[in-house]
Amino acid sequence: MSPEAAADRYNDPRAGEILDIIARETGVDRALLRPDATLEALGIPSLDLTQAVFEMESHFDVEIPVVVSTGGAEFATMGGLVQHVLATLDRKAAAV
Amino acid sequence: MKRRVAITGLGAISALGSGVPALLSAMQAGRTGIGPIRSIDTARLTVKIAAEIPDFEPEAHFDRRQLLALDRNAQLALVAAREAMADVDLTGLAPERGGVVMGAAMGQITVDAGYQSFYGEAARTLPPMTVPRGMPNAAASHLAMAFGLQGPCFATASACASASHAIGLAGQMVRSGMLDLAICGGSDASICVGYLKAWDALRVLSADACRPFSRDRSGLVIGEAAGILVLEEWDRAVARGATIHAEFLGFGMGADAGDLTAPSADGAERAMRAALADAGVAPEQVGYVNAHGTATRLNDRTETQALRAVFGDGIAVSSSKSMHGHCLNAAGGIEAVVTALALREQLLPPTLGFREADPECPLDCVPNEPRRAEISMALSNSFAFGGLNAVLALGRA
């Protein structure tokens, strides 16, 4: 995904909710959760991210899958994570 | 030459209150913490009494993010360990020379709640911290992290003897030179519907009171607690001017290799004799035994036989479970703290709830009233399901 596309996804109102949850669960300043920021650079432990994903699943009432073929890369950057969660929500909306 | 082992820290949280001073004042007053269960819904429980910790507010001790990773079991362990470590100075201790050994207790409340939501409420997923909160080594790991101890750290699994095994092994490691300091003991957050229901199914729980060694005893009462000791190499403790509450003298353990749940007098006797031999102490030097004393018909009768075989007549024996309940995987921890206090304060804790002498339990069980006594050595007994026996020998400092 291009940086422009990722930034565009950030404008989705649901992205705000996703970032709120990540900030709350990881304790990282919301302003630092930029699309190109990596979890590694933000110093977010994997368990904290797992907890944040769990909270998102509860919040949106959806199962957020791990994509085996990408080896978890969808969780590597904030942009990738937001995109992955939004795509999951879009699939759910389409299935209803 | 064997090194000596000082007990330089005590920590306790139980139905008798938070902190060692609360435990001691209950021992002095002969007060029990057993009462109607308040913290959980008892609608589906047959037995509705327990020894619950009053007024424990996790948020007073941990922030929200810490609590995500902490079952109540580890919370209790940390609170008690902070108390035990409050006067301990780690200056000059290489991190790998400090260790942690705790009785293994699952994070029952976490596991119970997780499975309830999954099976009972068709939850899509379980909270991601279910496994790390539930694992039986969690408390030990949290203590090592909290105090930066990088030496041996593990949990011992021997049911209601777990914490005594933990303290015994920790004592041996300090005595042998493997460690210079160890945090040890046990914690058990046992007040949870599924777990109490499982105990209920064994038909060993009392519906009204805990009456160890009394003819009308009616079974055990489950308690929640953490009891922690800090063991330290004697010369290090003396050099830093530490308060030494008591001395770890020895440890005996063994297996009945008989029945899974029925206790054996021979097995209990062997473990007590092993502890005395390890400590280099003769039976007549022992002034007090903190009994396993569960208040089941079978345990108290069998333990009495074993005690009489080792000590004959006249040894003072009491079951502090009548005050703090049977704290299961934490039992040996809270009872070791009680035993250390008995030595330090020269005060025998009473066996509460005692109403009538039992011809099958001819013992001086310090009935109902605490007693002042000059004692220099004491044992703490733990005889667990599985036929696993552990006895600690402690001495006056």
DSSP B158-202: -GGGHHHHHHHHHHHHHHHTS-SEEEEEEEE----HHHHHHHHHT
- Which overall architecture, per CATH, does domain B5-396 show? 3-Layer(aba) Sandwich (3.40)
ipTM of the complex: 0.78
The pTM of this model reads 0.94
Closest chain B C-alpha to A8 CA, distance in angstroms: 31
Average pLDDT (A55-83) is: 86
Please indicate whether, in this complex, the C-beta atoms of A51 and B128 are within 8 angstroms of each other. yes
B positions 101-130 inside 8 Å of A (CB): 124-125, 127-129
Cα B361 to Cα B223: distance, rounded to the nearest angstrom = 24
Longest dimension (CA), chain A: 37
Q: Which residue, B317, B331, B306, is CA-closest to B384? A: B331
* pLDDT tens digits, B175-184: 999 999 999 9
Average pLDDT (B54-60) is: 96
Pick the residue from chain B with its C-alpha nearest to A49. Answer: B128
Closest chain B C-alpha to A11 CA, distance in angstroms: 29
Please indicate whether, in this complex, the C-beta atoms of B129 and A27 are within 8 angstroms of each other. no
How far from B234 is each of A54, B2, B41, CA to CA, in Å? 49, 11, 47
* pLDDT tens digits, A38-64: 999 999 988 888 999 999 999 999 999
Residue positions of B annotated with a catalytic role: 160, 292, 326
Average pLDDT (B291-301) is: 97
pLDDT tier for residue B115 given thresholds of 50, 70 and 90: very high
Q: Say which range, A22-36, B19-33, B372-386, has the weakest mean pLDDT.
A: A22-36
